[in-house]
Amino acid sequence: MRNANVLISGASIAGTTLAFWLHRNGFTPTVVERAPAIREGGYKIDIRGTALAVVERMGVLDEIHRLRTDVRGASVVDRSGRRVASMDGDTFGGREHGDAEIMRGDLNRLLYDLTRDDVEYLFDDSISALTPLPDGVEVTFASGTRRRFDLVVGADGLHSNVRALAFGDEREFVRNLGYHVSIFSVPNHLDLDRWELTYVGPGRTALTYSTAHDEGAKAMFLFATGEERSDDRDHERQQQTLAAAYAGEGWEIPRLLAGMAEAPDFYFDSLSQVHMDTWSAGRVVLVGDAAYAASPASGQGTSLALVGAYVLAAELAAAGDHAAAFASYEARMRPFVERNQALGPANIKRMVLRSKGQVRLSMFMLGVLARMPGRERLLAKAMAPIQRAANAISLES
Ligand SMILES: Cc1cc2nc3c(=O)[nH]c(=O)nc-3n(C[C@H](O)[C@H](O)[C@H](O)COP(=O)(O)OP(=O)(O)OC[C@H]3O[C@@H](n4cnc5c(N)ncnc54)[C@H](O)[C@@H]3O)c2cc1C
C-alpha cells in the first residue's frame, strides 16, 4: 500500500480516531503525544449528528452511552442563588435523542484503549522538525530520534505544533472570538447531583456542574476580553486575570474561584477558532482543532474531530495518492466545518451578555419562559441550528 506509514501528532479525539480508521483501512499509524500518558479528566463534550455514526461504526456507541454524564438538568441562578429558570439537560445542551454527552477524558481513554494494541504510541515526545523528502517526510523528534514517514498528520489541537512547523505562526490562523474560557475541578460543595447552575453577569458568565461517575464538580468561566491575543501560559498570572475579571461578583463565584490554585487540571485559554485556506502542505495534513477549531462555544469541536478523522482516513484509503485524498477530504469537510464554526460566535453572544440591561432582560424572559406551557418545544426549536449543522455531512462520499 502507498503512503502506508503515517505519523499522527496528538493522541486526543482526532488523533486516536484517525489511528483507528487508518489501521482498519490497512495503514500503519504511529501516534506521538507530548503528554507522558493519555490525557484524562477535562470537561463535558457532546457527540451529535453524523459523529454518532462514526463512533457507532467503531463499535463504541454503547460504551459511550454507558459513560454519559447523565446531567439531568440545568438552572439559571441570580446573584442570591435563586433559580430563575430550569430545564432538562438534553434541551439545555441542544441534544436530541441518541446524542451523547461524555467527559472528554473518558472518550479519550476509550478511544486509546480501542487502538493501543494495534497502533504504536510514543508518549512524552514531540516533533521538532519536518524535512520533506521526494517520497516522504523525515521527522526529527524532540527526544533526538529521526524517522521517515510517508505522511504526517497534525491532530495536536488549537495550538498545533505541526501547523506551526508546516504552515507558519499560529497568529495567522487562530482567531480569538473576544472571550476567554477557564475550567477546572472543584469540590462539590453545593451537593449538586448531576445538575448544572449558571450565573450570568454583565460580560461574565460562571457555571458549575456535577456529572455521573465523578464525586467532584467543575467550575467554568466565560468572560469577554476583546480580541487581543494572550500567549501567557503562566497559571499564576492566568489565575490573577480570571480573579480580576470576576471581582465583586456574588453568588458562589468567590468560593468557586478559591479552588483554582489547588485544581490539578486548571485550563485557561482564549475562546478561539482556527481558519485556514488549506489544511495540507505537501505530505502534511491537519485534522480536528488543529485545522478547524470551532471553539468550545460551538459545542461541535469533538464531533468535527471525529468526522474529520473518519473522512480523512476514508479518502486516503480510496485515493491511494495523498494529494488527491487531501483534496477530497477538504472538499467534503469544508462546508460541514463552516456551518459548525458559524455556531461559535452566535452561541457565545447568548452565553455571555454584554450589559446589565441585557442581563436583566434575559433573566426576565427566562422567568417568563420557565412558566410557559410547551416551553420544552420552544427551547428545542431554538437549539435546531446546532442539530442541522451536526447533520450537515454524510459519511458516504
Ligand atoms: C473548556 C472547553 C469546553 C469544550 N466543550 C465542548 C463541547 O461541549 N462540545 C464539543 O464538541 N467540544 C467541546 N470542546 C472542544 C473539544 O475539546 C475539542 O474540539 C476537541 O477536543 C478537539 O479534539 P482534537 O483531538 O482535535 O484536539 P485536542 O483535544 O486539543 O488534542 C490535541 C492533543 O495534541 C496533544 N499535543 C499538543 N501539542 C503537541 C505536540 N507538540 N506534540 C504531540 N502532541 C501534542 C495534546 O496533548 C492533546 O492530547 C471544548 C473545549 C474546551 C477547551
Q: pLDDT band at 1, cuts 50/70/90? A: low
Q: At a CB cut-off of 8 Å and minimum separation 6, what does 107 contact? A: 13, 45, 47, 64, 67, 302
Question: Cα(300) to centroid of ligand 1, in Å?
Answer: 11
Q: What percent of the chain has pLDDT over 70?
A: 99
Predicted TM-score of the model (pTM): 0.95
Q: pLDDT band at 90, cuts 50/70/90? A: confident
Minimum CA distance residue for ligand 1 atom 18: 301
Minimum CA distance residue for ligand 1 atom 53: 296
Nearest ligand 1 atom to alpha carbon 11? 49
Nearest ligand 1 atom to alpha carbon 14? 25
Question: Cα(157) to centroid of ligand 1, in Å?
Answer: 5
Q: Which residues pair with 9 in a beta bridge?
A: 32, 154
Cβ contact 68:100 at 8 Å: yes
Nearest one of 308, 298, 314 to 335, comparing CA atoms: 308
Mutate to test the pocket of ligand 1, among 7, 21, 31, 34 (most ligand atoms within 8 A of CB): 34
Minimum CA distance residue for ligand 1 atom 30: 157
Pocket of ligand 1 (CB under 6 A): 9-15, 32-35, 39, 43, 45-46, 104, 126, 155-158, 161, 181, 183, 288-290, 296, 299-303, 305
pLDDT in tens, 367-396: 888 788 877 777 778 788 999 999 999 998
Rounded CA-CA distance 217/306 in Å is: 26
Minimum CA distance residue for ligand 1 atom 35: 10
Question: Cα(159) to centroid of ligand 1, in Å?
Answer: 9
pLDDT in tens, 290-303: 999 999 999 999 99
Question: Cα(158) to centroid of ligand 1, in Å?
Answer: 7
Question: Cα(135) to centroid of ligand 1, in Å?
Answer: 31
pLDDT at res. 107: 97
Rounded CA-CA distance 123/151 in Å is: 19
pLDDT in tens, 19-34: 999 999 999 999 999 9
Question: Cα(166) to centroid of ligand 1, in Å?
Answer: 20
Rounded CA-CA distance 105/44 in Å is: 9
Averaged pLDDT score across all residues of the chain: 94
Question: Cα(84) to centroid of ligand 1, in Å?
Answer: 33
Rounded CA-CA distance 258/260 in Å is: 6
pLDDT in tens, 350-361: 999 999 999 999
Question: Cα(85) to centroid of ligand 1, in Å?
Answer: 31
Q: At a CB cut-off of 8 Å and minimum separation 6, what does 27 contact? A: 1, 3, 4, 5, 6, 313, 316, 317
Mutate to test the pocket of ligand 1, among 20, 30, 33 (most ligand atoms within 8 A of CB): 33
Question: Cα(365) to centroid of ligand 1, in Å?
Answer: 34
pLDDT at res. 95: 74
Largest interatomic CA distance in the chain:
67
Nearest ligand 1 atom to alpha carbon 93? 8
Rounded CA-CA distance 292/174 in Å is: 9
